[in-house]
Structure 1
């Protein structure tokens, strides 16, 4: 795709609104690293504007500048044509813009009302907090913006979807009418995504403008009217979404075409391929009928379904993250004790968990320490960790998965989201597992990182690993030889490679049921 920067035409649906925010000729450096080079964006009022790009393209830096967390080295930010507030005036910034991050800022130990009015509670006589008035105002705020939760509800009990809506309501109560949504669908199922999109459209009618950041390109076409692409710290294009094909968008993000692995690209599995992972009559949380399946050597079996389907619970039970209420899990004929991650690891099961931040890595430990934790045989001698061996293993995995890091000693917290996910995959592969359990392995990563991760899975498969792929993303499932579709805790469809997208999605939504 041409490198020329293309301004959005004036005939798009959002073009009728005035610019609500403009970032012009933004340059930002962190030491020798150029995070943004004369980049910019213009978002018109009343629309939903997509910001896309690979991890490291500059999106996070641009968001930090648009929200007043960072000052550009050069360039300027304007809100409705007015210069942005001084960085020290946080209240003025909150009246202009808010960001709902992928990692929620809601405090779980507080109630919804306390989160909504944190540090600005309503005061009564003697400057004491008037909790009754605070809860009353919280209830009014939630009703005004159609957020169906109780102000007295503990925030810890909120779903991901509800936390996002509470954060949006909090931002709107401060006066902001420009909301940045950073990967808002990464932890939502299809039904919750549809509800979120309905709320976005309703809020647009009420005068709210959104900047939507996502690695799920189909969502860009579903909810956004304009798209801006960043690549290598530079602005590449801004165009109406209707004028850009998916392939053009991918090419703008990567600079070249990306080919994702699929099962139809490889020969069928040999008939004599031995069983590796055997699950028999498994019952666990969210599973309503005993589930049995076998994954053979060099086979990829998919488990698909919505958020309440039970697919993640099945995978977690197989990998020891949660106990099974019945049934057995065996690897190469050896039964694996239920509810024990160490036992599953010792049996030869590698895991990429659903929540990388809580279960996938330790942020303050180095890349090498995180990767080596699953492979003591490769990193220890006479029971002691040998840094030389640990770093050698880490460098091998860093090269294999193209992890962008200055070295194995960097804390994982210092990596981008896509590279953090690569570390989680490296940790799962470091022990040379017999069976690999992957739960949403490419959620929240860019298209190039997705290609790297899926290629690594395909290489593990080619080397003889049995893979259980648990996902509702079609790109992940296309690598599968077979897919079992779960709906409300039971298998409702079994599909062989070559399935049609429409049939799979229909089964995931509970429309089809081929058990009869």
Structure 2
């Protein structure tokens, strides 16, 4: 793309290697001042490595970074980097036990002497007002919802003086209305002259909020184009190397009289959900849909024992696990993919083999000792089945891309051939190919006779379900059979229609 002025940000001919792996290979990006520029690519394409270089966390082996035509600060000059660029990561960096004001001005509460708390709260209110963030400066950050924490991170990033912000998968944990509010805030910031790099696996969002897009594939720059000049199919082809279609759900029929493998009866939990009944048969995939306040996540986490219901009963494979006890639920024959893979899905310093075989470690040896050979053999089979891109079973999961780490979480959930499966937002923050593998794994489990509950904010994910149970404000309002239209399902999810037509 021809530039008419000095770019706000430029990475030129950047190469970065980690041992034998080339994470970036002569790649680059040029971002004009005041634009919102998308960076897209499959997991492992090099996006995260570029972010670490653009924020000064990594030094490129070759190439350079420029801000407004001037060389970037040295890696050691952290204050210099903060004045140039800020990143709002998918995983929140807000400290929940501190107030909003303390988070905004952490490590810079005062110049010298004791902290003037009244002045600090006043500075925080001024900053929040400047960027339109409606949050009490004295409130504990842990009490904020996902959307509020994200806006707080954006305000904090801008408070350092940076006019370039990187937004890394900012919509991954937001529902539809919250996403639109975020986009409105991004448009307002752009009107104030803020330059943004937007990373998302949801390509439709690129067309909604970005002016330009850069595609990385296999550690290389593939193309940069104006968004309005790049058709959807060409964007997908640039990312994948071919025109990749969306996941095609398989034709499947649930056997008449199939046993119930997972059920909930009259479950209630505070204000999250009330009087929920749910039945899942062997070989059946049941979707759970609804907005962020619908209660669907709370219900799913109750089914697996992360939460204990105030009333009602959960039954797994004919057994009644101890409420609020994950171990008891897993022993009853349930596999689980949590909502937040970073927090609950894996131990980053442990290897792929160790993470994936945690539920079956007792079966991989005698007298309480795990056989390394058996564990490695089982992990190698999982790596092959789920096409995990890795140097081998001994690689730490923390070193994998997001999509490959999620495949390890799925492998762990399926390790003991569970009779029931609960999967929460399995494709959040992963690329097109990883989505196909993850959804295919759920369908494979159903074909082996497992019953599955699939919770997702993605309509495409829900297409593999035999039926979708829709929740609204803590109650089940409708059950939609397979073959639904987007408009029909979205209307029920958003409360436009909460009864049968």
TM-score, with length taken from structure 2:
0.95
Aligned to 2:469: 484
**Equivalent residue runs for 1:395-410 within 5 Å:** 395-410=380-395
* 1:220 aligns to 2:206 (yes or no): yes
* 1:72 aligns to 2:60 (yes or no): yes
Q: Which runs of 5+ in 1 are unaligned?
A: 1-6
* 1:89 aligns to 2:74 (yes or no): no
* 1:441 aligns to 2:441 (yes or no): no
- Superposed CA deviations along residues 219-261 of structure 1, whole A, max 9, x for unmatched, are 1122112111100011111112222233322221111243444
Aligned to 1:457: 442
Aligned to 1:106: 94
1:176 to 131, 150, 162: 162
Equivalent pair of 1:98/1:176 in contact (CA under 8 Å): yes
Aligned to 1:329: 314
In 1: Cα distance, 2:314 partner to 2:124 partner: 48
SS of the residue aligned with 2:83?
helix
Equivalent pair of 2:255/2:283 in contact (CA under 8 Å): no
Equivalent pair of 2:406/2:426 in contact (CA under 8 Å): yes
Aligned to 1:164: 150
Q: Which runs of 5+ in 2 are unaligned?
A: none
**Equivalent residue runs for 1:206-217 within 5 Å:** 206-217=192-203
In 1: Cα distance, 2:295 partner to 2:247 partner: 26
In 1: Cα distance, 2:230 partner to 2:254 partner: 38
In 1: Cα distance, 2:312 partner to 2:298 partner: 14
SS of the residue aligned with 1:230?
strand
Specify whether residues 430 and 146 from structure 1 end up closer, same or farther in structure 2 by C-alpha distance, changes over 3 A only: same
* 1:34 aligns to 2:34 (yes or no): no
> Which stretch has the larger CA shift, 330-339 or 358-367?
330-339
Aligned to 2:108: 120
Equivalent pair of 1:141/1:169 in contact (CA under 8 Å): yes
In 1: Cα distance, 2:500 partner to 2:325 partner: 32
Aligned to 1:274: 259
In 1: Cα distance, 2:321 partner to 2:121 partner: 50
Aligned to 1:495: 480
**Equivalent residue runs for 1:361-376 within 5 Å:** 361-376=346-361
Aligned to 2:130: 144
Shift of 1:377: 4.9
SS of the residue aligned with 2:8?
strand
In 1: Cα distance, 2:163 partner to 2:247 partner: 41
In 2: Cα distance, 1:499 partner to 1:447 partner: 22
> Which stretch has the larger CA shift, 226-235 or 410-419?
410-419
Shift of 1:332: 3.5
Shift of 1:453: 0.7
Shift of 1:433: 0.3
SS of the residue aligned with 1:211?
strand
* 1:341 aligns to 2:335 (yes or no): no
- Superposed CA deviations along residues 99-131 of structure 1, whole A, max 9, x for unmatched, are 11112222223222222222222235xx33333
TM-score, with length taken from structure 1:
0.93
Shift of 1:167: 1.7
Over the aligned positions, Cα root-mean-square deviation in angstroms equals: 1.9
* 1:314 aligns to 2:302 (yes or no): no
In 2: Cα distance, 1:260 partner to 1:77 partner: 36
SS of the residue aligned with 2:39?
strand
* 1:393 aligns to 2:381 (yes or no): no
- Superposed CA deviations along residues 386-408 of structure 1, whole A, max 9, x for unmatched, are 22222222111111111122222
Aligned to 1:255: 241
Specify whether residues 405 and 285 from structure 1 end up closer, same or farther in structure 2 by C-alpha distance, changes over 3 A only: farther
Aligned to 1:382: 367
Shift of 1:262: 4.0
Shift of 1:214: 0.9
Shift of 1:18: 5.2
In 1: Cα distance, 2:21 partner to 2:373 partner: 29
Shift of 1:509: 1.0
Shift of 1:515: 4.7
Aligned length: 501
In 2: Cα distance, 1:318 partner to 1:269 partner: 22
